Homo-oligomer: A and B are copies of this chain.
Amino acid sequence: MSAFDDLFAFQRQTEALSSIAERLGWDQETVMPRGAAEQRAEEMAAIEAVLHERRTDPRIGEWLEQAGAEDDEDQRILDLIARDFRRASRIPARLATELARQTSLAQGVWAEARANDAPQDFLPVLNDILMLKREEAAALADGGDLYDALLEDYEPGATQAEIAALFDAMRPRLVALREEVLGAEYQPAMLQGHFAQETQLRLARACATAFGYDWTRGRMDIAVHPFSSGRWQDSRITTRVVESDPFNCLYSTIHEVGHSSYELGIDSDYAFTPLGRGVSMGAHESQSRIYENQIGRGRAFSGWLYQRMSDAFDGLSVPDADAFYATVNRVTPGFIRTEADEVQYNLHIMLRFDLERDLIAGRLDVEDLTEAWNARFLKDFGVAVDRPANGVLQDVHWSVGLFGYFPTYALGNVYAGCLNRSMRQALPDLDRFLAQGDAAPAVEWLRENMQRHGALYPPRTLIENATGEQISEAPLLDYLEEKFGAIYRL
């Protein structure tokens, strides 16, 4: 066995164990008995300790010194292993274990606090996690920027400075569009009625199937906060049902199908290697967003959905497919990021991006977070947050230690804008298929040009290779202005 073979075999086992940890997380959010939280925390801590030990195993350093790559794929594998080894080696085992345990417990505390609108029950726990994350960031940054060090886990190569500049470029056009749309004379109707859970779930399955979701390698369950989980042969989606609002279920399903499709679309030769996963959260979000928005909320696909929903619910409160299209894309003031429309979504992200940068930098204390959130929300959205569950308690991310994650949602939107422009140019006929509930040509284009590569290229390279153009916010903003200008008759 060569050093490369030894390293590769070792890595395969680590990848398998990491996949197990992710499956445990799925279990916890979907099917785990509610009394098992402490036990699961201990189990998660144990497997994270094993993973940490493997990721920092000194043999990796020795193998890396001796291993030679025969081609670009092998070289990229070595580079990715080296990066992870370098980062993991910087985090003390005690800190890794403590973070795993605290974040596992904090999820339950957060959920309870949100249900009770009681930030005081959650914020002390959040403060503990923030302290641990700052310690982690300092260890990773090695003298560099703390926030960038965390960002690297989610969007390798990105910096807060570059993202801040991108957001600064986006904000004026988004704010202007938001003002125009909210002030427009024509306002789409809301969908009225009661939509039974079972029927929603049946339609959600039909939507997933329309987007080519592979049910032999996946399944759909209910979760409080929809997510997708797993890779290779087993990538599962979750959804939720609000009986007054079927779009919540249907579009979160399509969104998660986008994530899972990316994982399932990766070249199967990459399974159990560092190439066998989405390369960044931004790249991931570009898939969930383009599935959900540019495709799923487009006029063509929504026309098909209108017919399916009319049949399933025995008529709808909107008169026709055009009105339905406007309803699906309705822009309203709202507190909740996950329910935000395409126009306002990125503004929600910018708020979190700035607050979490302040938290990590120590410019903002957790005890002042609720106030800071509410002040910023009022400033950005012109509305006062009515209750903590609609404000600072709405997202799970910070409770599980995901600082540096939020901006990748907006990056994903920007990437999706770029991909959509290229895809539409390559597939002039696409809407004809989407109008029949067939997203296969779009899925195939995305698979061929992007998904199958997994982590072979860095995120920017991946998107720029797929589109043949430099990444820019312009395609997304052009698309939004054109789409919402038409819907709102601006």
Contact = CB atoms under 8 A, between A and B. Distances in A.
Nearest to A32: B234
B32 A16 contact: no
A278 interface: no
Contact of A33 (B43, B47, B234, B272): B234
Where chain A touches its partner, the secondary structure class is helix
Contact of A20 (B12, B20, B219): B20
Interface string A26-51: 01000111111111101101110110
Contacts of A20: 20, 24, 43, 46-47
Contacts of A39: 19, 232-234, 271
A186 interface: no
A83 interface: no
Contacts of A12: 42, 46
A16 B272 CA distance: 23
Given A31-B31, A272-B42, A217 B19 contact: no
A33 B271 contact: no
Contacts of A272: 42
A39 B33 CA distance: 25
A141 interface: no
Given A20-B46, A46-B13, A50-B50, A38 B219 contact: no
A13 B53 CA distance: 13
B16 A45 contact: yes
A2 interface: no
B219 A40 contact: no
Contact of A16 (B31, B42, B215): B42
B17 A233 contact: no
Nearest to A271: B39
A234 B36 CA distance: 5
Given A39-B271, A46-B17, A49-B13, A33 B236 contact: yes
B47 A234 contact: no
Interface in A212-239: 214-219, 232-234, 236
A32 B40 CA distance: 19
A23 interface: yes
A430 B374 CA distance: 61
A217 B46 contact: no
A47 B216 CA distance: 24
Contacts of A236: 33
A53 B13 CA distance: 13
Contacts of A32: 234
B234 A40 contact: yes
Contacts of A217: 33, 35-36
B16 A43 contact: yes
Contact of A36 (B13, B36, B43, B233): B233
Nearest to A214: B35
A260 to B, nearest CB: 11
A275 B225 CA distance: 37
Nearest to A234: B36
A42 to B, nearest CB: 5
A35 B218 CA distance: 8
A33 B232 contact: no
Contacts of A19: 39, 43
Interface in A26-84: 27, 31-40, 42-43, 45-47, 49-50
- Most B CB contacts (10 A, CB to CB) among A23, A34, A37, A218 go to A23
A404 B389 CA distance: 57
A184 to B, nearest CB: 45
Which 4 pairs, one residue from A and one from B, show the smallest C-beta to C-beta distance?
A16-B46, A36-B234, A35-B216, A39-B233
Interface of A: 12-13, 16-17, 19-20, 23-24, 27, 31-40, 42-43, 45-47, 49-50, 214-219, 232-234, 236, 271-272
Given A36-B232, A39-B271, 20 more contacts: A12-B42, A12-B46, A16-B45, A17-B43, A17-B46, A19-B39, A19-B43, A20-B43, A31-B219, A33-B216, A33-B219, A33-B233, A33-B234, A35-B214, A35-B217, A36-B234, A38-B233, A39-B233, A39-B234, A40-B234
